[in-house]
């Protein structure tokens, strides 16, 4: 993997304490919970910062300033500023304070955050990983998670919950399939990932599907990045090349391409309006079906053709469908 030439690290003549600080600051994005522990996979770490690295003992924090970057294997995090906050080990006394011993419990990236993983790139203004809760979230402008097959954007936040193996996009969240240009938009999108042990498509370039590498810190979402199912809640809009489907909630299975939309469902295509309480849409074949709830029948309104006849594209009714 080729990286752009990073800024030079501080000079080794700065002293052994600065070197230790550099080593612990490297844990900012890619480390396990203990400051002195080996990183997952035992891969070497590189940390660079144009304006140096601070070790604030009284605040128990390491800070890499200015075009900061942390690189381990195929994972990379870049931001204007990187921080690692740690708990001091009281039982170790002064020696712990002098060496920076203790558990890192919170890691942060601020300003122009860009996280590059083996299978996707994530961007935002700020990123935080809470090691106690095992959750990472990004906020700010240009919130985007992009892979070779899809792009997810949000206005409010992007979250990743490690133990629950899911990601959440909040605020006008949109998932767009690159090949088909089909989209799902909602107030909240939640992606449930397959287990990390599930085989993935081989690959090597960043942004391409690949077997995820072991890692931690802010780069942890590389694990189990294949989506098993996606749910959408609030102001749901599904857009295909042929129609627009609106509803209150939806579920989507990327493997089968099947989406189910619930609530006050409306399907609009070429000026025609279909109303119901449930719709199924196959995003691969383009076939959709509209249903009533047993009390309210599915209803279709067709735009008249030039000769006055309604244009009928499929079987429409209580158990009908449209293509």
Same domain (yes/no): 215, 254: no
Same domain (yes/no): 251, 231: no
Residue 196 lies in a domain: yes
**What pLDDT is stored for residue 307 in this prediction?**
52
Nearest to 85 by CA among 66, 58, 111, 67: 58
Last residue of a domain, one of 177, 209, 239: 239
> Kind of pairing, strands 53-56 and 120-130?
unpaired
Best mean pLDDT range from 33-37, 125-129, 164-168, 199-203:
125-129
Residue 214 lies in a domain: yes
In tens, the pLDDT along 53-81 reads 898 999 999 899 999 987 877 878 899 99
Same domain (yes/no): 235, 248: no
Domain count, the chain: 2
Same domain (yes/no): 246, 299: yes
Q: What is the residue-averaged pLDDT of the chain? A: 72
Same domain (yes/no): 229, 261: no
**What pLDDT is stored for residue 35 in this prediction?**
30
Full residue range of the structural domain in which residue 256 is found? 242-323
Same domain (yes/no): 247, 235: no
- Domain CATH number, residue 261: 2.60.450.10
d(CA 265, CA 257): 19
Last residue of a domain, one of 196, 214, 239: 239
In tens, the pLDDT along 8-30 reads 233 333 332 333 344 444 444 34
Whole-Å CA distances, 51 to 18, 63, 154, 176, 315: 14, 10, 32, 38, 67
Residues facing 72 on adjacent strands: 45, 75
In tens, the pLDDT along 115-160 reads 888 778 899 999 998 888 988 899 999 999 998 888 999 999 999 8
This prediction has a pTM of 0.70
Same domain (yes/no): 193, 64: yes
Same domain (yes/no): 48, 181: yes
Last residue of a domain, one of 239, 274, 303: 239
Is it the case that residue 214 has pLDDT exceeding 70?
A: no
**What pLDDT is stored for residue 281 in this prediction?**
87
**Residue 304 pLDDT grade (very low, low, confident, very high; cuts 50, 70, 90):** low
Residue 4 lies in a domain: no
Same domain (yes/no): 22, 150: yes
Residue 322 lies in a domain: yes
d(CA 217, CA 2): 22
Same domain (yes/no): 184, 314: no
172: left (phi over 0), alpha (psi -120 to 50) or beta: left
| Terminal Cα-to-Cα distance of the chain (whole angstroms) | 45
Residue 258 lies in a domain: yes
Same domain (yes/no): 252, 206: no
Share of the chain above pLDDT 90, in %: 33
Residue 1 lies in a domain: no
Alpha-helical segments (H) within the chain = 16-25, 27-30, 93-99
Residue 310 lies in a domain: yes
Same domain (yes/no): 126, 150: yes
Residue 96 lies in a domain: yes
């Amino acid at each position: 993997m080729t990286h752009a030439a990073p800024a030079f690290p501080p000079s080794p003549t700065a002293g052994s304490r600065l070197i230790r600080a550099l080593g612990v600051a490297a844990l900012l994005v890619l480390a396990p919970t203990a400051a002195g522990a080996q990183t997952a996979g035992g891969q070497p770490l590189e940390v660079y910062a144009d304006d140096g690295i601070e070790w604030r003992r009284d605040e128990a924090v390491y800070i890499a300033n200015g075009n900061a970057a942390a690189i381990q294997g195929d994972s990379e995090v870049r931001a204007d500023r990187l921080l690692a906050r740690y708990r001091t080990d009281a039982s170790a006394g002064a020696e712990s304070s002098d060496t920076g011993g203790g558990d890192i419990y919170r890691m942060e990236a601020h300003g122009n955050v860009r996280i590059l993983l083996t299978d996707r790139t994530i961007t935002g203004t700020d990123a935080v990983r809470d090691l106690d809760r095992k959750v990472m979230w990004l906020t700010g402008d240009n919130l985007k998670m992009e892979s070779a097959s899809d792009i997810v954007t949000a206005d409010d936040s992007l979250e990743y919950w490690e133990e629950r193996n899911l990601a959440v996009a909040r605020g006008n969240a949109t998932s767009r399939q690159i090949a088909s240009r089909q989209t799902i938009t909602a107030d909240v999108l939640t992606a449930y990932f397959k287990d990390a042990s599930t085989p993935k498509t081989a690959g090597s370039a960043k942004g391409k599907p690949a077997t995820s590498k072991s890692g931690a810190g802010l780069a942890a979402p590389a694990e189990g990045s294949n989506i098993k199912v996606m749910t959408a809640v609030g102001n749901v809009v599904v857009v295909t090349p042929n129609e627009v489907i609106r509803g209150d909630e939806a579920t989507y299975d990327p493997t089968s391409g099947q989406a189910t939309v619930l609530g006050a469902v409306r399907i609009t295509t070429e000026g025609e309006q279909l109303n119901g309480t449930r719709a199924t849409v196959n995003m691969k074949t383009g076939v959709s079906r509209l249903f009533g709830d047993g009390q309210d029948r599915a209803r279709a309104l067709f735009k008249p053709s030039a000769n006055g006849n309604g244009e009928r594209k499929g079987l429409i009714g209580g158990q009908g469908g449209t293509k």
